[in-house]
Amino acid sequence: MLKAYKYRIYPNACHIEMLCKHFGVSRFVYNWALALNNRYYRIFGKGLSKRRLELQAKKKRHLVKYQWLSEVNSQTIVISIWNMHTGLKNFFEGRAKRPRFKSKKSNWQSFQCPQHVQIDQDNNLINLPKIKGIKAKIHRQFEGKIKTCTIKRNPKGQFYISVLVDDTMALPEKAEVLENKTVGVDVGIKDFVITSEGIKAPNNKYLTHSLGKLNKAQRQLSRKKKGSNNRSKQRKLVACIHDKVVQRRNHYHHQVANQLLSNNQVTTIAFEDLHVKGMIKNRKLARSIADVAWSRFVDITSYKAVWQGKNIIYCNRFAPSSKQCECGYKNNDLTLKDREWTCPECHSVWDRDILASNNIKKFAIADALGHSVCVKKFPNNNRLQQVCYSERSQQSRSDGSQEAHTRTACCLVGEYVTLKTIQWIRSKNKKWV
C-alpha cells in the first residue's frame, strides 16, 4: 500500500541555496525537453522517447555552457524528463491538457528525488542527495520503503517534503455493493454534505468569512512599489490568508470524510458525478462553489475509502436527483430557491437536499449493478410501473446474477427502465402515457 507523508522542513541558508538550484534545474530541464519534443514533433510527426531525451540531457551536462547542471542531483534531471513525457502521454490519450512551460515567477516550486533519500525519524533530520542534515518536524512515524520524495516551496516561502512510502501491506478487499449498507451523499452550498440518513454537515464558508481581511491586504499590496521589499512582505501576508483558508477547509473535509467512513454499517458511499468546472462558469455561484471545494472532498473520501476496503460509486450527473419523487413524478418547474416542494401525485413533502441524496443512492446502485441503460424515460403511471416491476422480478436473467439484486436494482431505477423491460412492454402492446 502506498501512502504519502507530508512534513515541514527548516533548511538553513546553505540548504536554501541548493534547494533553489534544484528548483531551477528541474524547471529548466522540463522546459528544454518540452521544447525539443515539440520541435521534433512538428518536423517528423512523432515525439522523442524518454531514453533519447535522457541521452540528450547527458550530453548537454558536459558542455561548458551548461556545467551548472552538474551541481544538482542527476536523478532530479531524469525525473523532470519523465514528468514531461508523462504529461504528453496523458495529453495524447485525452486525460489532460497539453503540458505548458513552467515559469520562474511561479510561487510554487518543486523537484523530486526518486533515490538515495534518508530520513532520521528519531533526530528529525532528512538527508537528500547533495543536501545533508535538513531539520524537519516529523510528527508522524512511518515504516516501509521510501519510493520517492517531493520537495516544494509554497507562496509563503515555506518548504515541505512529501514522502511516498510503500508499507508492503496489501489493500483490503472491497465489500459487495448492497442497498442496506449504502449511503447517498449530496453536496451543496447551503449545507456542505447531506446524507440519505438525514444527517447534514454545515458549510462553514471559510473564504467568505475571510474576504474582509483579504480585501484589505490586497488593497495594501496594490499600493506597494513593484520590486520593493515591502511589496514582497505584503505578498506573503496575502499568501498567508489564502493558506489559512485552505488549511481550515482541508481540515474540515478530513473530519467530514472520517465521519462518513467511520460508520461500520456503511460499506458503500454514493456521490453524484458533478461537472464542477462547468458549474463554476456561473458568475453568481462561482465563488461559493469554489469555496466549498466539492471535488477536493470527493478525492479525500475516495482514497480513504480504498484504505478501508469500502466502495465509492457515482450516479449520472443528468439524473433528476432533486426533482423526482419516489412515486416517479418529476417536478420540472423546481428552481434553486425552492428548498422544499410537495408532490402533486402522492402529496409527499420533500426536503430538496434529502430527496436528492436518496435519489443519488438509488441511481448510483442501479449504475453499479449494471441496470441503468437509460434508453427511454419511464412514464408517470403507477399502474404500469407496478406491472413492469412484478413481471421483471419473475423473469430469469442470463448473466448469472442473483434475482434479489436484479429486482432491487430495477425498482431503484425509478424514472428509467432497462432495455429488456422496454422490450417486454412492447411485446405486451403497452403504450407510453
> Residue 350: its pLDDT value, please?
81
Boundary-marking domain end, from 281, 315, 349: 315
Q: 288 and 415 share a domain?
A: no
pLDDT tens figures, 395-430: 433 333 333 333 333 333 333 444 545 455 555 554
Q: In this predicted model, what pLDDT tens digit does every residue of 348-357 receive, in sequence order?
A: 788 888 888 8
Is residue 187 located within the same domain as residue 258? yes
pLDDT score recorded for residue 112: 93
**Quick one: average pLDDT of 242-253?**
95
Residue 132 DSSP SS3: strand
Residue 361, domain member (yes or no): no
In this predicted model, which residue has the larger pLDDT, 54 or 379? 54
Inside any domain, residue 356:
no
Identify whether residues 296 and 379 lie together within a single domain: no
Q: Return the ∠ at Cα 288 (arms to 287 and 289), rounded to 5°.
A: 95
Identify the weakest region by mean pLDDT among 194-203, 236-245, 267-276, 382-391.
Answer: 382-391
Does one domain contain both 105 and 193?
no
Please tell me the least confidently modeled range out of 210-219, 286-295, 384-393. Answer: 384-393
Based on the structure, what is the number of domains in the chain? 3
Handedness of CA 46, 26, 82, 110 (dihedral sign): negative
Read off the pLDDT of each residue in 200-221 and give the average, rounded to a whole number.
94
> Mean pLDDT across the stretch 91-95?
90
Look at residue 357 and tell me if it is in a domain.
Answer: no
94 has a pLDDT exceeding 80 = yes
| Nine-digit cell string for 261 | 467512513
155 and 117 in a common domain: yes
Confidence tier at 198 by pLDDT (50, 70, 90): confident
Res 424: pLDDT: 53
- What tens digit of pLDDT does each residue of 109-141 get? 999 999 899 999 999 999 999 999 999 999 999
User: Which of 315, 334, 360 is a domain's end point?
Assistant: 315
Average pLDDT over residues 360-376: 69
Classify residue 213: in a domain, yes or no.
yes
How far apart, in whole angstroms, are the C-alpha atoms of residue 418 and residue 376? 8
User: What are the distances in angstroms from CA 205 to CA 215, 287, 290, 398?
Assistant: 16, 10, 10, 51
Last residue of one domain, picked from the residues 274, 296, 315: 315
Please give the pLDDT value at position 322: 80
Question: Amino acid letter at 164?
Answer: L
Domain assignment present for residue 7? The answer is: yes
Query: Does this model's pTM top 0.85?
Result: no
Query: Does residue 44 lie within any of the structural domains?
Result: yes
184 and 155 both lie in a single domain? no
Mean pLDDT of 43-66: 85
Task: State the Cα–Cα distance between residues 237 and 215, nearest whole angstrom.
Answer: 12
Judge if 92 and 236 occupy the same domain. no
Residues 192 and 77 in one domain: no
Residue 96 within any structural domain of the chain? yes
pLDDT digits (tens, 9 = 90+) for 12-22: 999 999 999 99
Please indicate, yes or no, whether residues 98 and 229 belong to a single structural domain of this protein: no
Q: What is the pLDDT of residues 300-328, one digit of tens each?
A: 999 999 999 999 999 888 888 888 887 87
**Do 183 and 291 share a structural domain?**
yes
Quote the domain boundaries for residue 33. Answer: 2-166
Does 203 lie in the same domain as 131? no
In a domain, 344, yes or no: no
The answer on 147 and 37 residing in a single domain is yes
DSSP H or E run through 389: helix 382-394
